[in-house]
Amino acid sequence: MELREKIRTKQARIGIIGLGYVGLPLAVEFAKTGFEVTGFDVDKSKVDAINAGKSYIGDVAGEDVDCSVKAGKLKATDDMSKLHDMDAIDICVPTPLRKTRDPDLSYVVLAVEAVRAHLKPGQLVILESTTYPGTTDEVVQPTLEETGLKAGKDFYLAFSPERVDPGNATHTTKTIPKVVGGMNEASTELAAALYGSIIDTIVPVSSTQVAEMVKLLENTFRAVNIGLVNEIALMSHRMNIDVWEVIEAAATKPFGFMPFFPGPGLGGHCIPIDPFYLSWKARQNGFECRFIELAGHINGSMPAFVVERVGEALNSQKKSINGSRIHVFGVAYKKDVSDMRESPALDILELLLRRGALVTYSDRWIPELKHNGAIMRSQDLPAALADKVDCAVICTDHSGFDYDALVKSGTLIVDTRNALRGVKGSSIFRL
């Protein structure tokens, strides 16, 4: 049977390589729709969790994993030879940066090499990992064609960027429009048909490069606008203007303005990283991305500014950071997620410790964290307050923090998220 027909009748067997924040929701969505899905991951603990019907990603309900596994629609393996049995393969592995801020494609390369080893005619291969324009046709295609099979003729190849927003209950895998760009028309059509089985709106584009660039435009747009609003926050502080009130009022304009909010710095696996994939590739073409570098510079300076505010807060009570007890609220990179990757709270923690502070933290999403080899454990608010905290820093405004109790305790507070919107008092220091 042709792949198109297999997709239409949900008989296509789908392999998802990388069962993380992107791959697992996708695998579950395909399985729930009736496809037979095999998840491939090198992390045995994830493979075991899935096969035991358990979810380890906040946005994926354990019940959905359990039902899909029990129905025989979802299983996981670390045996890459099973890729040969798949009709469509979706690659969702990490794309971090090296220390030099150059792209680290090693995970993609390993995954593609595994596909190459088991590629068979008629398969559809889709790359979802965020990457620089040109990756699909310069890295993935030549590797797969080493088999002697030709892309677009013997197998199909496409890029489709993932737009999942962890912690966002309004926009989910099914409802977020999906951009798809194939290396030829047949590849675009097949990839669009596959995603069209689980996603409401498909946006086909003319090439893999356009699809790759779309994702980088989206994330660069966020990084640059967050950089802009962080700079406005820094300048408003100098001018003694409440930047939060300014943004709130500006956001009443019904056209031509979109609110972005300042904060302690960028975090997560996307916004602090992806724009540098673009600037790296642009440099190869003799082009300097000034906006990206400037935004990176401003956003990267925010943790130091937060620590400066902590110093000012303590100074108002004739105290120093050195020797003070400082309690950080929220260490995950954003509200109500358990992801700490690139979290600015880690930089803030480090800067405070280096200045001699005694640091504790609360975060129900991150029960413990490792810092410089030592393990720190999350403390609840009453325990922290009983420890006579000198200053509290709200880094990530998770739901469920008892801000009333914190304010009533009279503790100095540095609020980097406007979590205490409308609350006034000499003990509250905003960005």
Ligand X SMILES: NC(=O)c1ccc[n+]([C@@H]2O[C@H](COP(=O)([O-])OP(=O)(O)OC[C@H]3O[C@@H](n4cnc5c(N)ncnc54)[C@H](O)[C@@H]3O)[C@@H](O)[C@H]2O)c1
d(CA 68, CA 51): 10
Task: Give min distance, CB of 157 to ligand X, in A.
Answer: 17
Rank residues 271 and 295 by Cβ distance to ligand X and give the closer one: 271
92 is catalytic: no
Q: Which residues pair with 327 in a beta bridge?
A: 360, 392
CB 316 within 8 A of CB 249: no
d(CA 140, CA 159): 10
Q: Should residue 42 be labelled a site residue for ligand X when binding is judged by CB under 6 A?
A: yes
Task: Give min distance, CB of 391 to ligand X, in A.
Answer: 31
Q: Which of 22, 340, 349, 406 binds ligand X (CB under 6 A)?
A: 22
CB 289 within 8 A of CB 282: yes
Rank residues 95 and 324 by Cβ distance to ligand X and give the closer one: 95
Strand-by-strand arrangement of the 13-17 sheet: 74-77, 36-40, 13-17, 88-91, 124-127, 156-159, 178-182, 202-205
Binding mask 101-120 for ligand X (x = CB under 6 A): ------x--xx---------
Task: Give min distance, CB of 189 to ligand X, in A.
Answer: 23
Task: Give min distance, CB of 99 to ligand X, in A.
Answer: 18
Q: Should residue 164 be labelled a site residue for ligand X when binding is judged by CB under 6 A?
A: yes
- Residue 409 CB contacts under 8 Å (≥ 6 apart), including other chains: 385
d(CA 383, CA 381): 5
Task: Give min distance, CB of 165 to ligand X, in A.
Answer: 7
- Residue 246 CB contacts under 8 Å (≥ 6 apart), including other chains: 232, 236
The window from 34-42, 181-189, 196-204, 399-407 that contacts ligand X (CB under 6 A) reads 34-42
Which residues from 170-229 bind ligand X, rule CB under 6 A? none
- Report which of 153, 144, 126, 135 is spatially closest to residue 210, judged by C-alpha positions: 135
**Which one is catalytic: 270, 289, 391, 395?**
270
Rank residues 269 and 430 by Cβ distance to ligand X and give the closer one: 269
Q: Which of 29, 36, 64, 162 binds ligand X (CB under 6 A)?
A: 162
Binding mask 252-291 for ligand X (x = CB under 6 A): -----------------xx---------------------
Q: Should residue 334 be labelled a site residue for ligand X when binding is judged by CB under 6 A?
A: no
The window from 11-19, 140-148, 150-158, 222-230 that contacts ligand X (CB under 6 A) reads 11-19
CB 226 within 8 A of CB 268: no
Task: Write down how long the chain is.
Answer: 431
Q: Should residue 247 be labelled a site residue for ligand X when binding is judged by CB under 6 A?
A: no
Which residues from 366-405 bind ligand X, rule CB under 6 A? none
| Residue 63, φ and ψ in degrees, nearest 5 | -65, -40
Region class of 326: left (phi > 0), else alpha (psi between -120 and 50), else beta: beta
Q: Which of 30, 40, 276, 403 binds ligand X (CB under 6 A)?
A: 40
Q: Which of 23, 204, 275, 311 binds ligand X (CB under 6 A)?
A: 23
Q: Should residue 136 be labelled a site residue for ligand X when binding is judged by CB under 6 A?
A: no
In the block, residue with structure tokens 């995603």 = 195
Rank residues 40 and 365 by Cβ distance to ligand X and give the closer one: 40
Q: Which amino acid is at 374?
A: A
Q: Should residue 20 be labelled a site residue for ligand X when binding is judged by CB under 6 A?
A: yes
Task: Give min distance, CB of 186 to ligand X, in A.
Answer: 25
Q: Should residue 32 be labelled a site residue for ligand X when binding is judged by CB under 6 A?
A: no
Helix (H) or strand (E) holding 328: strand 325-329
- Residue 83 CB contacts under 8 Å (≥ 6 apart), including other chains: 15, 17, 40, 89, 114, 115, 117, 118, 119
Q: Should residue 46 be labelled a site residue for ligand X when binding is judged by CB under 6 A?
A: yes
Task: Give min distance, CB of 172 to ligand X, in A.
Answer: 13
N-terminal to C-terminal alpha carbon distance within the chain: 61
Task: Give min distance, CB of 22 to ligand X, in A.
Answer: 3
Q: Should residue 55 be labelled a site residue for ligand X when binding is judged by CB under 6 A?
A: no
The window from 15-23, 204-212, 381-389, 407-415 that contacts ligand X (CB under 6 A) reads 15-23
Q: 417, exposed or middle or buried, with CB in 10 Å at 0-12, 13-18, 19+?
A: buried
Catalytic residues, which ones?
Answer: 270
For binding to ligand X (CB under 6 A), which residues are involved? 17-23, 40-43, 46, 92-95, 107, 110-111, 129-130, 162, 164, 166, 269-270
